[in-house]
Chains A and B, each alone.
Chain A
Amino acid sequence: MTTNTSSRVKPAVLDKNAEVLIHRSLWMDAVRRFSRNRLAMFGLVVITSLVLLAIFADILAPYPLDKVFLTKRASTLPFVYPEHPLGLDQSTRDYLSRLIHGARTSLFVGLAVPFISFLVGVPLGALSGYVGGKVDFAIQRVVDVATAIPPLLFALFLLSALGSGVSNVIFVLAVTGWIEPTRLTRAQFLAYREKEFVLSARALGSGDLRIILQHILPNAMSPLLVSFTFAIPLAIFAEAGLSFLGIGITEPTASWGKMVGSGIGNSIRVYYHIALFPTILVALTMLGFSFVGDGLQEALDPHRSR
């Protein structure tokens, strides 16, 4: 609702030098507010470095992710071999290289799952909220059933049926991931469907598709964007969790969750590095995305009090 008014009534600022009124859009305002938020900027820095790490993993990592050093001891602690600063894992692979490649898996799953979920959920929610009636009823009953299924248990169950692997993990997480965007989009469309600006667009002869895409969707954009940002760490967490349980990502692909899982056990007191470094990386990633999500929420909805 706030979005609606502020996008129509643009805040005008008097620029002293130019002595003309400068109009700032909602998005420019949001960028200003976002850049003043220290935690959000910290999150942005963390995410940017992770993205760079993921893109240039092949260049940055000292060794390929599946290269084994059979002559060296497995699970070697950090700083024992100068050429392996973070030590070796249980299969004598360079741990630093695997951690760097883990960023790629994490971010890929973290972005792919919300992307597919929103690709399915937003049109479904728009249809449900805009058309209403029987379509809405049918979609909402599917949502009801899907909500009753515990998402992580269902993902675990589906993975055991489909088999592990990156694409399967993305698929099973998207199977339950579409519910939230559907519900959110529906609520937004219900709220705007009878608003004056929609009625006037209709009176001017706009078609349904035009009203949906040009009039309602832009207004629903900021809550959807915030929801998308929060869906990323959730997907990263789910991937790490499934891999941690040993059913997510398969070897030789590197996954932080899998690394944490393999580091847990009686040897955690000695070979602390196997669990410690991926734990820190998952924690940093989750915090980074959450800070950015919080920052976006505040920046896009200035009336929300903390």
Chain B
Amino acid sequence: MTGYIIRRMVALFFVMLMVSIIVFVLMNAVPGGPFSLGERGYTPDAMANLERKYGLDKPLLERYWNFLSGALRLDFGYSFAVAGNPPVTDVILRTWPVTLHVGIYTIVLSFGLGSLMGIVAAYRRNSWLDNAVTFTATLGITLPNFIIATFFLLIFGFQNGWGQDPRKWIIPPLSPDSLPLLSWDYFLPVLTYALAPLALVARYTRSSVSDALSADYVRTARAKGLSHRAIMFRHVLRNALIPMVTVLLPQIPNLLTGSLFIEVVYGIPGLGKFFVTSIFNRDYPMIMGLVLLIAFFWGLTYLLTDILYTLIDPRIRITGRGSA
């Protein structure tokens, strides 16, 4: 197991190295630079000064080497475009908590409510409840979240009877400095963001629970006269968990790194929105830092999923005792 994890970590490292090379080369292959944009009108001398200041006058290979040696020490350099040129790690540390807040509430809502909906739907198959869950799941999976967000804005944007300024619903004043732990500002973004994972969770829970419900061991447990609750917790849910883990865990890095659309629509100052502005501003160090952060996060979650899979399902374990 340890050897497997080490091998996977080494593979992840090389993948990230490749990603960084690809993004770095593409970023610099484009004509123009971060300072030639807009109507800033730098004189050629000022441009040369700026490029020297940020090391953009050096050859590509040397710049990549500088980036890499910094990145290995988790130092991604200084942002070009953010006011005051703070270090990239500072900007990420300031904006990520916002995204994490929204993301964690989204995970709690979607996984909690979603699995509950899935279980209920599986127990009452083909009832109106089941149909309602299936319908919601279809909507949640198919509709893009910026479309749902627009619907919400159209509905709640008109509402004046919510006891507060309706503009607050349009652009929640979430700022990283005054980040409340719980606030109504999270309501719409989290609801919008949770719909898709909720649908996915509900759908998979429904199918894995109903598969487990019709399994032989559950019939045996029933024949033995076990109580409803014992069957449910000891036999059904435990086995229904296995397929869910592989499908649902990879959703988590997405949720924790934020959605571009949700953050742009609701004006949330998180990672996703920052990524969009960094790309528009050609803020090279920010782009590199964010891409690598997200790629690392994804890779790590896939690894964790595979490890957890072997832990949850003893049949997959190489040297297992045979019972959970």
* Contact indicator B144/A286 (Cβ below 8 Å): yes
Docked pose: A71 CA to B293 CA in angstroms: 51
Residue contact A237 to B144, C-beta cutoff 8 Å: yes
Kindly count the residue-residue contacts between A and B in the assembled complex, taking CB atoms under 8 Å apart: 110
Prevailing SS type, chain B contact patch? helix
Chain B: residues with Cβ within 8 Å of the partner, total of 45
Given contacts A145-B15, A279-B150, contact A245 B276 (CB under 8 A): yes
Within 8 A of B (CB), among A248-291: 257, 260, 263-264, 266, 268-269, 272, 275-276, 279, 282-283, 286-287, 290
User: With A148-B15, A240-B144 in contact, do A264 and B265 touch (Cβ < 8 Å)?
Assistant: yes
Q: Are B150 and A149 in contact (CB under 8 A)?
A: no
Interchain CA distance A157-B284 in the complex, whole Å: 11
In the bound complex, residues from chain B placing their C-beta under 8 Å from that of A161 are 26-27, 29-30
A51 at the interface (CB under 8 A from B): no
Judged by a CB distance under 8 angstroms, whether A52 is at the interface is no
- Determine whether A58 belongs to the interface, using a CB cutoff of 8 Å to chain B: no
Most central of A150, A245, A283 by chain B CB within 10 Å? A150
Q: Mark A142-160, 1 if CB is under 8 A from B, else 0.
A: 0011001110110011101
- In the complex, A177 has a CB within 8 A of chain B: no
Q: Is A244 an interface residue (CB 8 A)?
A: yes
A158, B26: Cβ atoms closer than 8 Å: yes
* B141 with A160: CB separation less than 8 A: no
Q: Are A282 and B144 in contact (CB under 8 A)?
A: yes
Q: Which of B58-84 contact A (CB under 8 A)?
A: none
Those 9 A-B pairs whose CB atoms lie nearest each other, nearest first: A290-B142, A161-B30, A145-B18, A269-B157, A237-B144, A160-B279, A286-B142, A148-B295, A148-B15
Pull 14 A–B residue pairs with CB atoms less than 8 Å apart, ordered by A: A144-B11, A144-B15, A153-B291, A157-B26, A157-B287, A157-B291, A237-B144, A240-B144, A268-B157, A269-B157, A269-B158, A272-B157, A286-B144, A286-B147
B-to-A contact residues, CB < 8 Å? 11, 15-16, 18-19, 22-23, 26-27, 29-30, 138-139, 141-144, 146-147, 150-151, 153-154, 157-158, 166-167, 170, 257, 260-261, 264-265, 275-276, 279-280, 282, 287, 290-291, 294-295, 298-299
